[in-house]
Chain A
Amino acid sequence: MAETLKVAMPKGRIYKKASALFRSAGLPIPLDVDETRKLVIPLPEAGMEFILAKPVDVPTYVEYGVADIGIVGKDVLMEENKDVYELLDLGIARCRMSVIGLPDWKPGIRQRVATKYPNVASQYFREQGQQVEVVKLNGSIELAPLIGLADRIVDMVETGQTLKENGLVEMTSIFEITSRLIANRVSYRMKNDEIQALCDRLQTVIMSEGANI
């Protein structure tokens, strides 16, 4: 008998795209799941159980094995650095991690960078041989250069619309971001057949639809 797969799903932006991808792969996922307020949703027809989590927590649930697999953006994986398998690039929620600043930015004596991703930012600037002070913020990062908290920011850029509206420019792109399928080290072995079958189905959809989801 196939075992139930516990899937950590990110609430919000990525959820709709990910569940659409699952449906394209032939899994019976109801459309109204994301409108309920339940956090754990059994989906016996699909052989799954969804755990709806804050995206940044998805790798933690998977690392500890309370979820067998999960869907999460590469940005979170790079920042959190958890010990999980990264099995598949789902090609959804495509965007990029970038360094952003005001158009007339010049390197000052003391450089400050505001970001939601302090690990990613410090590693990037270390690799560039730049000494910067990284300030962690939890939202509205674009504010920081406008009001003088930081002279540059590191953040996710999807369309660039928010930047344009706030008179900011994208200076460098650090890496490309898409959502990934991740798996717990033990589940990957104990539920090998179920996880492999899901991977194969998803991969078929990704190959045929390309990045147009």
Chain B
Amino acid sequence: MSKPKGFEKPAGVRDYLPHAVTKLRRIEREVLACMDRWGYRQIMTPTMEYYDTVGVASSTSDQKLFKLLNKRGTTMVLRSDLTAPIARVMSSLLKDEPLPVRLSYHANVFRAIEEEAGREAEFFQTGVELVGDDTPEADAEVIALAIESLKAAGVEKFKIAMGHMGYLNGLLQEVLPDRTEDQESLKQDLLNRDYVGYRNTIASLSLTEVQRDQLEGILKLRGGREIAGQALEISSNELARASIEHLSKVWEVLEAYDVSRHVLFDLTMLGDFSYYTGMTFEGYAAELGSPVASGGRYDKLLRQFGRAVPATGFALKTNRILDGVQGEEIVEELPILIRYTASHRKEGLAKASELRAQGHTVITSIIPDSANVRDAELPVVSGSLLNRGYREVITLR
């Protein structure tokens, strides 16, 4: 590749000009305030972590991690999510903290070569982790909070799909006991969202018709509350049954939150992250082509850091929301411009200071001695990306 030109930036990262920052900050502020009202307190962790700790635990595939070497030759990574760093903090700084713990965050994360549309290498996530509670109540709390957060971010039309890792695992164990390889290839088909491949794989295995129907049945397990019953008809495996019971209880709590109309069951959905162990969910907005939220239960992740406690959480893809959601137009107060000649400097700056104290935005500017009076009357703003004009121009001469 040729040497980059001076104005170029790497692919997958972007600049945000003030109008975009204003909108992004508002989404961030509203969402964090919403999380705060639910008792989630904000945490910040470093941008850089060790590859061997957070990098390995993060379950972002190796080739998608940004890696660097420090002076001693230790491999470092740029964080690819906040779940693994928070798990590290829970097992170190907060290791004696009574449970449950509720934490929120807003941070930029890094993934080299995203395979999905958009292909962002750096993007923003706003999310929560609820650590130390393995009840359906906790799973429902994070889903209900995800719904509130989407609303706070200005997303009007959205749906949440909720699934459970245990159901598929249980069903596979029942139909294909101890055939780990076959189980894995079926799971891989579903992870690739390749239902044709899934059916073909089933056809290639030597199975009875009943078993085939069982495995194909899972593809239809998407919809409302009734799906729980249908799922139980398909599999009588203990793990599958327990998973459905868990989801049904989550659903009951979501009904009590009065948000179940936003949620649908989807037992074909596997979380994109391998650390999910139980309930998983994704949020979709009508305006956007890819999911805006994802989350789930990860009961084994904290064990890797030495503290075996259950946890659940979610993250919003904040800049996707920024791109796709119109929201209300932000009406910002225009600044006041104070122009003064050298002899009126003290007076002008004092006036500016007085107006700023009242909460106004004030810009000051000197009128050069050489400028004639007409120039001084006309501050030029046309063609500017940043300057939208002034609320008032005060000229002191």
Interface of A with B (CB < 8 Å)? 63-66, 81-89, 180, 184-186, 189-190, 192, 196
Contacts and interface: CB of A to CB of B under 8 A. Distances in A.
A83 B115 contact: yes
A63 B285 CA distance: 15
Given A83-B115, A189-B159, A63 B289 contact: yes
A189 B116 contact: no
Interface string B169-206: 00000000000000000000000111111011000000
A17 to B, nearest CB: 17
Which of B194, B223, B282 has the most chain A CB atoms closer than 10 A to its own CB? B194
Which of B161, B285, B289 has the most chain A CB atoms closer than 10 A to its own CB? B289
A184 B289 CA distance: 7
B288 A186 contact: yes
B320 to A, nearest CB: 11
Nearest to B289: A65
Contacts of B159: 189-190
Interface of B: 115-117, 157, 159, 161, 192-197, 199-200, 222-223, 264, 266, 282, 284-286, 288-291
Contacts of A63: 116-117, 289
The 7 closest A-B pairs by CB, nearest first: A65-B289, A186-B284, A85-B193, A83-B116, A86-B194, A89-B196, A63-B117
A67 to B, nearest CB: 9
15 contacts: A63-B116, A63-B117, A65-B117, A65-B290, A82-B117, A83-B116, A84-B193, A86-B197, A87-B195, A87-B196, A88-B195, A88-B196, A184-B289, A186-B286, A186-B290
A180 B195 CA distance: 10
Contacts of A189: 159, 161, 264, 266, 282, 284
B222 A65 contact: no
Contact of A185 (B195, B196, B264, B284): B284
A196 B193 CA distance: 15
A180 B161 CA distance: 24
Contacts of B264: 189, 192
Contacts of A85: 193, 195
Nearest to A66: B289
A186 B195 contact: no
Contacts of A81: 115
B322 to A, nearest CB: 16
B292 to A, nearest CB: 9
Contacts of A88: 195-196
A203 to B, nearest CB: 11
A72 to B, nearest CB: 12
Given A185-B290, A186-B284, A192-B264, 13 more contacts: A63-B116, A63-B289, A65-B117, A65-B288, A65-B290, A85-B195, A87-B195, A88-B195, A89-B196, A89-B199, A89-B200, A189-B159, A189-B264
Contact of B193 (A64, A65, A86): A86
A79 B157 CA distance: 34
Contacts of A180: 196
B222 A64 contact: no
Contacts of B193: 83-86, 185
Contacts of A192: 222-223, 264
Contacts of A184: 289
Contacts of B284: 185-186, 189-190
Contacts of B291: 185-186
A63 to B, nearest CB: 5
B265 to A, nearest CB: 11
Contacts of A83: 115-117, 193, 290
A83 B157 CA distance: 23
Nearest to A83: B116
A180 B192 CA distance: 15
Nearest to B161: A189
A86 B196 contact: yes
A88 B195 CA distance: 7
A212 to B, nearest CB: 19
A65 B284 CA distance: 12
Nearest to A61: B289
Contacts of B285: 186
Nearest to A181: B196
A84 B223 CA distance: 20
Nearest to B158: A190
B290 A86 contact: no
A118 B172 CA distance: 36
Contacts of B222: 192, 196
A65 B266 CA distance: 20
Nearest to B285: A186
Which of A65, A85, A189 has the most chain B CB atoms closer than 10 A to its own CB? A189
Nearest to A88: B196
A85 B191 CA distance: 10
A81 B159 CA distance: 26
Contacts of A186: 284-286, 288-291
Which of A63, A82, A186, A192 has the most chain B CB atoms closer than 10 A to its own CB? A186
A97 to B, nearest CB: 15
Nearest to B114: A83
B376 to A, nearest CB: 51
